[in-house]
Structure 1
Amino acid sequence: MRVLTVMTVGTLLLLAGCSEEAAKTESESLKDTVGSPNPAAVFCVESGGKLELVQEQKGAVGYCHLPDGSIVEEWTYFRANHPVN
Structure 2
Amino acid sequence: MRSYVIVLAAVAVAGLAGCSQQSQKVHESQVGMANPASVHCEKVGGKVEIEKDAQGNQKGICHLPDGTRVDEWELFRRDQAQKPG
| Structures share fold, TM-score greater than 0.5 | yes
Give, in whole Å, the separation in 2 of the partners of 1:81 and 1:32: 28
In structure 2, what is the equivalent of residue 80 of structure 1?
78
The alignment status of 1:55 with 2:58, answered yes or no, reads no
**1:35 to 1:54, Cα distance in 2 relative to 1, 3 A:** same
Q: TM-score, normalised by structure 2?
A: 0.57
How is 1:19-38 mapped onto 2 (pairs within 5 angstroms)?
A: 31-38=28-35
Paired-residue identity, %: 40
Q: TM-score, normalised by structure 1?
A: 0.57
Give, in whole Å, the separation in 2 of the partners of 1:31 and 1:78: 26
| Backbone CA RMSD of aligned residues | 2.4
Give, in whole Å, the separation in 2 of the partners of 1:33 and 1:80: 26
Report the count of equivalent residues.
58
Matched residue of 1:54: which SS? strand
Matched residue of 2:77: which SS? helix
In structure 2, what is the equivalent of residue 8 of structure 1?
none
Superposition deviation, residue 57 in structure 1: 3.1
In structure 1, what is the equivalent of residue 43 of structure 2?
46
Give, in whole Å, the separation in 2 of the partners of 1:79 and 1:32: 25
5+ residue gaps, structure 2, are: 1-24
In structure 1, what is the equivalent of residue 68 of structure 2?
70
Matched residue of 1:52: which SS? strand
